[in-house]
């Protein structure tokens, strides 16, 4: 087990800056998730840590030791690929043990280790099969088994669940979480799926255009996103946004939105954000409610989503889990919101604190 | 008759309609000539008057079988095939592995190596024939200037060297074909397999033996099969270089000699039939050996 530290790491391919000045500390045994939209550099960052791609500048430390120029095989890491990268011409058993063949540890010891891992991952009955005879979930297990057999200090996962269907993804997510609880090895896990990030991570790193947008626990990032980018990336359905203007200490926005925040001196909000689950709908007008046109309702059984047009063209989502309302499409509705759930962002997308916001202590709790 | 039956029949008829031209052409250029050849192999017909013939049973086959020159041609062909295909495979694999790596100007190099293969065999053979000329040839000149030999070697006249020269020219001409087929196979191997091996610390030689070679083997197998069948019926190279010199005479040249030079349609056809049987036997053997009929991974 080992910590991982990135010191001012940058990577450029030709003129493209893929990773820019990343500083990061990952504690020993931590489950760290890199999340971000495609092209944000999360996979590249993982490959830099693995040593599959050399850094352009900066240093990578594993277990406190500088490994910037150490080859991938000597870094004490294991890598689970998105495509699994199983050797198609070898059976499961040999796929797992292939790396040990040159390690001079003897056939009996190899067999013992393969058996132990097969038992742990419940793939004992598949050992003689070829990868193409396995289902997606089984291939995934074999890929994890191959990573486990090396007994790594750090586990690297590159979008391991993205090739699986929804049910299997939930199941494997659970298994990976359990695996981490058992072996307590440091894990760095890349995904574009915010659900995987929220559910698996001890801490999340949100990446955007090769820079770290924010690092924190899932709860911190959800409650106190540092920017509009993080706020819109985490949470499903996405946060609702609307442009606002400031006049005489009061914010005014579409649908009759009006609010007087307590702001720091230089703060200039230009956009508000409200999460779908922090909103409620009412037929009757209420003080401070935002007016909109009801468009459509989706009843999912355990919850429902209402789509309401606010101002011109903005569609907001309101989520509830009580009895679904029966508004007629086209009818006027009122969106109820509370100041403590309101997020304000400035022109650059940075979040601004305002008087009614949940306090930092409350947010981290 | 139900509508479905009708649609089915219509579909079947349309299918036959599409296949028919191919069947006619195949019959005209492959099955008919083959049938005629086998037919004439049992007659004493001569080329100037093939309509005038009598049946002689298997005597033409026996004539060919007892001809030492025919066996010389068979052994020449087999030596040529085994040696040239072996060299082309090893060279082809080595060059394909080099070209598989990304480097500046790779596209140009890939196009350039195709040049020998794109040239007609007759032209390539003539070029090498002149370059290997014992008195005026470039090769001897270079070797003499470098001090490797004292006087010109009679590459294309010395009977012990002739078959070697034939193999050398064939390797020069057809290695690019091997390179291309093997390169296509190499490019089908996912890059992340090598990354997985890299992280596991698998040494490069083991990567080659345990990952690259088994995964590119089907491509090599197909390439070898193509080249072997091609080499077994080789005619042009030997004929342009040395005509019917027995040192380089192939099975095809032997059959042509009987048929054209000696005008003996019966014996020529019998020789052709022998060639057909020998190549057919080797083809079946190879396909079985490579298990090409079975789906490979």
User: CA torsion sign, A82 to A88 to A93 to A98?
Assistant: negative
Residues A213 and A225: their CA atoms lie apart, in Å, by: 9
User: CA torsion sign, A179 to A181 to A186 to A191?
Assistant: positive
pLDDT of residue A362: 45
pLDDT of residue B213: 94
Confidence of residue A248 (pLDDT cuts 50, 70, 90): confident
Answer whether A134's CB lies under 8 Å from A126's CB. yes
Helical residues (DSSP H) of B119-264, grouped into ranges: 121-131, 138-145, 159-187, 191-200, 204-207, 213-232, 236-242, 251-256
Q: Mean of the pLDDT values across residues B190-219?
A: 92
Chain A residue with minimum CA distance to B204 = A102
Residues B3 and A365: their CA atoms lie apart, in Å, by: 72
Percentage of residues of chain A with pLDDT beyond 70:
97
Q: Mean of the pLDDT values across residues A344-348?
A: 93
Q: Phi, psi (5° rounding) for residue A264? A: -65, 160
Contacts for A58 with CB less than 8 Å, ≥ 6 apart: A6, A7, A8, A9, A10, A21, A22, A68
**Cβ distance of B196 and A81 shorter than 8 Å:** yes
Residues A186 and A200: their CA atoms lie apart, in Å, by: 13
Residue A1 at interface with chain B, using a CB cutoff of 8 Å: no
Distance from CA of A87 to the nearest CA of B (A): 7
Confidence of residue B297 (pLDDT cuts 50, 70, 90): very low
**Cβ distance of A52 and B190 shorter than 8 Å:** no
Residue B192 at interface with chain A, using a CB cutoff of 8 Å: yes
Chain B residue with minimum CA distance to A132 = B297
pLDDT of residue A68: 94
Residue A73 at interface with chain B, using a CB cutoff of 8 Å: yes
pLDDT of residue B292: 60
Residue B189 at interface with chain A, using a CB cutoff of 8 Å: no
Confidence of residue A363 (pLDDT cuts 50, 70, 90): very low
Residues A170 and A300: their CA atoms lie apart, in Å, by: 18
Name which of B201, B211, B297 is nearest A132 (Cβ-Cβ).
B297
| Segment A153-192, tens digit of pLDDT | 999 999 999 888 888 899 889 999 999 999 899 999 999 9
Distance from CA of A69 to the nearest CA of B (A): 14
Chain A residue with minimum CA distance to B202 = A99
- Residue B2: both structure tokens together: 């139900």
pLDDT of residue B1: 55
Confidence of residue A39 (pLDDT cuts 50, 70, 90): confident
Q: Is the pLDDT of residue A354 over 90?
A: no
Task: Select from A345, A348, A176, A322 the least CA-distant residue to A253.
Answer: A345
Residues B241 and B125: their CA atoms lie apart, in Å, by: 7
Number of cross-chain residue pairs from A and B with Cβ atoms under 8 Å apart:
58
On average, the pLDDT of chain B sits at: 89
Sheet with A245-247: list strands edge to edge: A245-247, A250-253, A257-259
Confidence of residue A357 (pLDDT cuts 50, 70, 90): low
Does the pTM of the predicted model rise above 0.90? no
B195 to chain A: which residues are within 8 Å by CB?
52, 79, 81, 85
**Cβ distance of A83 and B211 shorter than 8 Å:** no
**Cβ distance of A79 and B210 shorter than 8 Å:** no
Residues A3 and A26: their CA atoms lie apart, in Å, by: 6
Distance of CA A225 to the CA centre of its chain: 13
Q: Is the pLDDT of residue A33 over 90?
A: yes
Answer whether A122's CB lies under 8 Å from A144's CB. no
**Cβ distance of B198 and A88 shorter than 8 Å:** no
Lowest mean pLDDT among A27-36, A222-231, B109-118, B219-228: B109-118
pLDDT of residue B47: 83
| Segment B132-182, tens digit of pLDDT | 888 888 888 888 888 888 887 888 888 888 899 999 999 999 999 999 999
pLDDT of residue A365: 33
Chain A residue with minimum CA distance to B218 = A89
Q: Is the pLDDT of residue B294 over 70?
A: no
| Segment A198-227, tens digit of pLDDT | 999 999 999 999 999 999 999 999 999 999
Lowest mean pLDDT among A16-25, A136-145, B106-115: B106-115
| Segment A45-104, tens digit of pLDDT | 999 999 999 999 999 999 999 999 999 999 999 999 999 999 999 999 999 999 888 877
Confidence of residue B245 (pLDDT cuts 50, 70, 90): confident
**Cβ distance of B195 and A81 shorter than 8 Å:** yes
Chain A residue with minimum CA distance to B217 = A89
Q: Mean of the pLDDT values across residues B31-60?
A: 88
Angle at B16 between CA B13 and CA B21, to 5 degrees: 140
ipTM for this model: 0.84
């Amino acid at each position: 087990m080992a910590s991982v530290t990135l010191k001012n790491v940058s990577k450029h391919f030709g003129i493209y800056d893929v990773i820019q000045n990343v500083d990061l500390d990952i504690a020993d045994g931590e489950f760290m998730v890199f999340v971000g939209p495609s092209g944000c550099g999360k996979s590249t960052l993982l490959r830099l840590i693995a040593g599959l791609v050399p850094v352009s500048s900066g240093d990578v430390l594993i277990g406190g030791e500088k490994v910037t120029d150490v080859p991938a095989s000597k870094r004490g890491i294991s890598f689970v690929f998105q495509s699994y990268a199983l050797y198609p011409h070898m059976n499961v058993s040999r796929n797992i043990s292939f790396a040990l063949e040159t390690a001079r540890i003897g056939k009996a010891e190899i067999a013992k280790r393969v058996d132990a891992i097969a038992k742990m991952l419940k793939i004992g009955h598949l050992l003689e099969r070829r990868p193409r005879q396995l289902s997606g979930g089984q291939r995934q297990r074999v890929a994890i088994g191959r990573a486990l057999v090396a007994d790594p200090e750090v586990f690297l996962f590159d979008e391991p669940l993205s090739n699986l269907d929804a049910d299997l993804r939930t199941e494997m997510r659970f298994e990976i979480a359990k695996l981490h609880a058992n072996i307590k090895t440091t894990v760095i896990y890349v995904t574009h799926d915010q659900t995987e990030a929220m559910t698996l991570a001890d801490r999340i790193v949100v990446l955007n255009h090769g820079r770290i947008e924010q690092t924190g626990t899932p709860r911190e990032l959800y409650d106190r996103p540092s920017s509009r980018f993080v706020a819109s990336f985490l949470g499903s359905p996405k946060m609702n946004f609307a442009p606002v203007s400031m006049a005489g200490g009061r914010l005014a926005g579409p649908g009759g939105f009006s609010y007087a925040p307590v702001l720091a001196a230089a703060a200039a909000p230009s956009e508000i954000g409200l999460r779908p689950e922090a909103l409620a709908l009412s037929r009757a007008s209420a003080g401070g409610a935002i007016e909109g046109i009801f468009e459509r309702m989706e009843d999912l059984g355990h919850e429902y989503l209402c789509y309401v047009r606010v101002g011109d063209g903005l569609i907001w989502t309101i989520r509830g889990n009580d009895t679904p309302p029966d508004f007629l499409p086209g009818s006027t509705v009122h969106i109820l919101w509370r100041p403590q759930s309101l997020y304000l962002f400035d022109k650059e997308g940075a979040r601004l604190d305002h008087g009614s916001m949940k306090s930092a202590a409350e947010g981290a709790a | 008759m139900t509508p479905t039956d009708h649609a089915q029949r219509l579909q079947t008829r349309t299918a036959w309609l599409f296949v028919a031209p191919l069947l006619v052409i195949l019959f005209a250029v492959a099955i008919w000539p083959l049938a005629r050849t086998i037919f004439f192999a049992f007659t004493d017909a001569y080329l100037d008057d093939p309509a005038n013939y009598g049946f002689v049973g298997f005597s033409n086959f026996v004539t060919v079988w007892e001809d030492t020159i025919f066996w010389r041609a068979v052994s020449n062909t087999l030596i040529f095939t085994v040696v040239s295909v072996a060299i082309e495979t090893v060279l082809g694999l080595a060059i394909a592995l080099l070209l598989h790596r990304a480097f500046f100007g790779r596209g140009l190099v890939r196009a350039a190596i195709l040049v020998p293969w794109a040239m007609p065999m007759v032209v390539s053979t003539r070029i090498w024939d002149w370059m290997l000329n014992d008195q005026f040839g470039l090769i001897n000149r270079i070797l003499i200037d470098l001090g490797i030999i004292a006087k010109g070697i009679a590459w294309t006249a010395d009977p012990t060297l002739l078959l070697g020269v034939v193999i050398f020219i064939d390797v020069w001409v057809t290695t690019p074909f091997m390179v291309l087929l093997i390169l296509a196979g190499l490019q089908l191997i996912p890059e992340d397999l090598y990354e997985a091996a890299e992280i596991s610390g698998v040494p490069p030689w083991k990567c080659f033996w345990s990952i690259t070679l088994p995964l590119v083997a089907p491509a090599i197998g197909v390439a070898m099969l193509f080249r072997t069948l091609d080499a077994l019926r080789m005619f042009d190279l030997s004929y342009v270089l040395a005509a019917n010199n027995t040192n380089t005479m192939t099975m095809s040249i032997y059959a042509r000699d009987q048929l054209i030079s000696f005008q003996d349609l019966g014996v020529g056809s019998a020789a052709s039939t022998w060639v057909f049987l020998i190549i057919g036997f080797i083809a079946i053997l190879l396909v079985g050996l490579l298990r090409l009929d079975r789906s490979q991974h």
